[in-house]
Every structure is written in structure tokens, then in C-alpha cells.
Amino acid sequence: MLFPTTAFLIFFVAVTIGLATLQRSYEAQKIWLVAASYFFYAQWNWRFCFLLAFSSTVTYIAGLALERVRTQRSRKRVVAATVTVHLLTLGFFKYFDFFVESGNGLLRALGVPEALPFIEVILPVGISFFTFHGISYVVDVYRGDVAVCRRLTDMLLYLAFFPQLVAGPIVRAAKFLPQLYRRPERDFGLAWPLALIVGGLFKKVVMANFLATGLVDPIFDDPIHYGTPDLLLGIYGYAVQIYCDFSAYTDIAIGIAALLGFEFPPNFNQPYRASSLRDFWRRWHISLSSWLRDYLYKPLGGSRGGALFTARNLMVTMLLGGIWHGAAWKFVFWGVLHGLGLGVERILFGRGHAEPRGWAKGVSTIVVFHFVCFGWLFFRADSFDTAWLYLQMMAQGSPSLVQATPFTIGLIVLGMALQFAPPDMHRRVAAWVLAWPEWALGAASGTLVLAIDAVGPDGVAPFIYFQF
Amino acid sequence: MDLPDLPVRTIVATPARAGRRVGRLLRMLAAGCLTAVLLGAVPLANWAASDDRLAELSSVQQVTTALKNATESLGLAEPYVWIRRQARALQHLRFGPPEDQQ
């Protein structure tokens, strides 16, 4: 069930009616939200609801165990065991085939005929996200950053809450669980969440979908038939597509959660205006990069040692961040590329270097954007070989331009313009309509959604980050 | 590596009564769905089936044929391919895909 569909609208209306019916009891509302979230998840594959329930239960029990055990050694064992269970589950579903395939390749190279058994494992949607939720909760309880969750319902809802279930943002337990202990006290109004949702729908249905079908997919499917300008625009197009696709999902998720009274953390902050790679990772998929920082980079030692020690930690963090995205060598390369970039930046400019100003900032922004685009080429290509072929075709310098149209180029320009628009654009839009009555906001949103649907191409492609 | 202070954190948030919030949300959803249903039911002209489409397609065809002839007479095949793709993209955008591709 995708956000930009009538099925989701019906689902959301049903959820809201249920909440209105149960508004006397917050506990009943939470149980209703758990049931709704599991129904939402079951639309992909109902069998994986058991996996989600298993992850939630393990996390819940680990929290209770951490409260009961006294010695530091036992507490560490509880954390290690829980993290191991989560990582093994993730590893099996996400990486089993990759390791078997890579192992078989190695065996063949060594002349060993025996092949490792190959099972076609189906990847449960959102497994990377709910696994990271579980790990962050257990580690935070261990560190004393969050109180132990005593109700299983709260834990089930924390891992399964439908707006963030399949593609984030990764919401920290310390931020979300307190919202479950007491009925949300804050009202975000209707205008700001609606601005996020309608804006997100436009970015996904119109911008990302048209760029995918009209430019990016044909070029990446068959790069051998295109000249340098098309191939270059294909990469720029993908940079804008993935931004519009993923930021749209999180905007809609944040908006839906806000309509229900919950606060999610921000996940994007105009990433292509970054003037350094460090700055880029503070703006792109913020909930993942801050998760990796707090649960991987800092435990490894962070920047407490010299420049080389920091560069090593950055490399390990980004390598694992790359592998988190998928079981393929292209993601390994993508992670290593960013790790190298961050490491070199750290060695050249030192810790906490000042932001460039004036023309230097402009040049840095352009260089960083192209570095990121180079990474996206490997991220998007079907395989490492395809990415390499893409680069070879670009180097041939054929001047033909057959795939890009003024319309798709216009979408790329619009996508880049969004990076330099006022950062509080949604709030400004919301301010215009803040005083409107709810029926007027509903009518305006209904009209806009219908218009977006009419303008967009037929069908809705799944969000890119669903595969992770 | 502190996170930037984003505007989404500072968006207007006021103390709320849950019942009021859900009630307003329901009224907004009802108005939105009603608007979408009403607007969706309005019989708009079917561009793809109208005579105008044929006329326009014909004129687009004439223009692209003239451009094709002109560019080929200059020994330039590539720009024609580009122009033809623009014309097709234009037709596709305005009228949807041709019937044989649907």
C-alpha cells in the first residue's frame, strides 16, 4: 500500500475514524494504531508480520532484562545478544544470497566445484528500518538515555507505526516512546502537515516519476545507446529523482504522523547545497547518518584520535552504511567512495574546518554535488559493470542528445532550485492558510491531489527506499 | 556533528485537546474526499478522442516532416531524431501514449 494511492487514503480515513471512536482511552487508540500498522504491513506480505512482532518482542524483553540484571557485564551481554539477534535476522534476509553468490564466485575462482546452497530469500519491506529502531532502543536503555518501555503495546507501535515503518525516518526511542507514554500534547495544526503531504506528493508523483520514466530508467537500462550529454543528464536526473522520491516519502510520513499528533525528526535539509561531504551527510537522510554516527562512528572512537584514526572510523562507518543499503558490490563501492571522500576531507581540512565563503563556497558546492552524483551512478546502476560501462560511454564523447527533453531538463532545474529555496518553505506555505477552516483546507488539498494525479504519469512506482 | 536546527522542529505547535484534533482531521478528510469525488466526476473533454487531437497531431506531423526534410537535406540526421523525440514527448504529455502502446 503506497502513500500516493486511493487505497492508502481509505486506510487513513478508517484509521482516523477509529481514533475518533476510541478517543476516551489513549491505550485503546494505541492498540488500534498497532492493529492498523500491522494491517498496513500485511499488504506487502502478511507472513512478515510475525517477523516484525518477533523483533519487537525481542527488543521489549531485552529492555526489561536490562532493568533487572545488576552487573555491568550482564548488561553488556544482554545488549550483545539482542544486537546479535537483530543483525542475524537482518543478515539472513538481506545478505544471505549475496554471501552465497560471492562465496560461490570465490570457490569457482579457486577451482572448487562445490557450490554453496542457494535459497531465494524474499526481503521483508522495511526490515533495515525496524531493525535499526530495535538496536537503538536497546543501546539507549543500556546507556541510560531512555527509560525502559513497560508496555508491549508501546514497543509494538514504536517498531511498527505505519508512517515510518517501511522507509523511515529512523525515529529514536528517546524521541518517540515518551509520545506514547502520554497522549500527544502538541498540535501541529492541519496546514503544515498538509503542506508537507501535498508537496511530497508533487515531488514523488510528478517530479520523481517523470524523471524515472522519461529520462533515468531508459538511459540506465541501456547506456550503450546514448551520447555524453544524455548520460550526464541521466546522472543529474537520478540525483534529483532520488532526492524527490526519498524526501517525498519522509515529508509525507512526517506530515501523516503530525496529523495524528506525533512528531518525527527531520530527514532532509536541502542536501545538494552542501559545501562539503561532511555537510552533505548532515543534510541527507539525517536520521540514518545520525544513527550511524551515534551507534557506530562514536563507539569506534569517532574523532577522538588523530586525523588518520578518524579517517579509518569514517571509512568503516560509511562502508557499513553502504552495505546497509543493499547486498551488492556497487553499494560497497558507494560506501567506500563516501568514506574515502570524508576521510580525505578530514585529513586535508582538519576537524571542524570553517565553512567556505563567497566564490569558494560556490565552487565547493559544485565539486561536492558532482562527487555525490558520481556516487549515485554506482548506486543506481544495475551492477558495478553497468556503472563502469556507463562511464566508458560518457568518456567516448558522442554529442547526441536523444532522450532528454526540455520537460525533463526543466524538472532537473526545478529539483536543483528546491535546494536553494527558503529552507522553511513548508512553514511559509502553511502560514498563508493557517486561518482557513478545516473544510477549506480539505477542499484545497483534495483539488491539489487530484491535479497532481492528473498531471503525473500513469501508475505509481514504488519508493526507491522500499528496497532497503 | 550536531544536527541542524531545522524549521520542522520549530513549526507552530500548540497545546491540544486530542478530541478536537481528531475531529478537525475528520472534517478536513471528509471535505477533501468530497472535493476529489465531485471534481473527479465532472465530465471533462476527452482530448485524446476529439477531432482537435487529430488536427493537432496532423500539424505536428507536418512540422516534423518539414524539419526532417530540412535537416536531412543538410545532411544532419541527429537533430531530426532529437526533434522527433520532442514531438513525441509533447504528444505523449498532451494526449497520453498511442493506443498501440497502452
| Interface predicted TM-score (ipTM) of this complex, two decimals | 0.72
Residue B55 confidence (pLDDT): 47
Domain closes at, from A128, A147, A181: A181
CA dihedral A174, A180, A186, A187 (to 10 degrees): 120
- Work out the pLDDT band at B49, boundaries 50, 70, 90: very low
Residue B60 confidence (pLDDT): 53
Render pLDDT for B51-89 as a digit per residue (tens, 0 to 9): 454 445 445 556 656 666 666 666 655 555 665 666 666
Domain closes at, from A153, A181, A209: A181
Q: Is residue A119 part of a domain?
A: yes
B89 contact residues in A (CB cutoff 8 A): 214, 405, 407
Q: Is residue A45 part of a domain?
A: yes
Of the residues A10, A19, A297, the best mutation for testing chain B's interface (the one with the most B CB atoms within 10 Å of its CB) is A19
Residues A123, A104 within the same domain: yes
Residues A161, A254 within the same domain: no
Domain that holds residue A271: 191-275+355-455
Domain closes at, from A158, A181, A204: A181
Question: Does pLDDT of B41 surpass 60?
Answer: yes
Residue A231 confidence (pLDDT): 92
Residues A257, A161 within the same domain: no
Task: Quote the CA–CA distance of A7 and A318 in Å, as a whole number.
Answer: 37
3-state secondary structure of A187: strand
3-state secondary structure of A468: coil
pTM: 0.80
Closest-CA distance of chain A to residue B39, Å: 8
Q: What's the domain count of chain A?
A: 2
Residue B71 confidence (pLDDT): 63
Q: Is residue A364 part of a domain?
A: yes
- Work out the pLDDT band at A462, boundaries 50, 70, 90: low
The average pLDDT across A171-197 equals 84
Residues A207, A96 within the same domain: no
Closest-CA distance of chain B to residue A118, Å: 38
- The mean predicted confidence, pLDDT, of chain A is 87
Render pLDDT for A55-93 as a digit per residue (tens, 0 to 9): 999 999 999 999 888 888 889 999 999 999 999 998 888
- Work out the pLDDT band at B90, boundaries 50, 70, 90: low
CB distance B7–A426 less than 8 Å?
Answer: yes
Residue B77 confidence (pLDDT): 55
Question: Does pLDDT of A1 surpass 90?
Answer: no
**Closest chain B residue by Cα to residue A210:** B93
B13 contact residues in A (CB cutoff 8 A): 186-188, 263
CB distance A23–B16 less than 8 Å?
Answer: no
Question: Does pLDDT of A141 surpass 80?
Answer: yes
Of B6, B26, B93, the CB nearest to A407: B93
Of B15, B22, B89, the CB nearest to A20: B22
Residues A230, A107 within the same domain: no
Per the omega criterion (within 30 degrees of 0), is the bond before A169 cis? yes
Residues A149, A84 within the same domain: yes
The average pLDDT across A83-105 equals 83
Q: Is residue A339 part of a domain?
A: no
Residues A201, A140 within the same domain: no
- Work out the pLDDT band at A459, boundaries 50, 70, 90: low
**Closest chain B residue by Cα to residue A12:** B29
The average pLDDT across A263-287 equals 91
Question: Does pLDDT of A174 surpass 60?
Answer: yes
Residues A157, A32 within the same domain: yes
Question: Is B31 at the interface with chain A, CB within 8 A?
Answer: yes
Residues of A serving a catalytic function are 325
Residues A240, A155 within the same domain: no
Could you tell me which residues are beta bridge partners of residue B14? A187
Question: Is B39 at the interface with chain A, CB within 8 A?
Answer: yes
Question: Is B11 at the interface with chain A, CB within 8 A?
Answer: yes
Residues A27, A106 within the same domain: yes
Question: Does pLDDT of A132 surpass 50?
Answer: yes
Q: Is residue A343 part of a domain?
A: no
Q: Where does A46-172 have alpha helices with state H?
A: 48-68, 72-109, 127-143, 152-160
Q: Is residue A135 part of a domain?
A: yes
Render pLDDT for A202-217 as a digit per residue (tens, 0 to 9): 998 888 988 888 889 8
A 148-187 residues with CB < 8 A to B:
183-187
**Distant-in-sequence, close-in-space partners of A81: CB < 8 Å, separation ≥ 6:** A62
Residues A121, A208 within the same domain: no
Task: Quote the CA–CA distance of B92 and B60 in Å, as a whole number.
Answer: 12
3-state secondary structure of B71: helix
Task: Quote the CA–CA distance of A226 and A400 in Å, as a whole number.
Answer: 7
Residues A175, A246 within the same domain: no
Residue B84 confidence (pLDDT): 60
Q: Is residue A400 part of a domain?
A: yes
Q: Is residue A347 part of a domain?
A: no
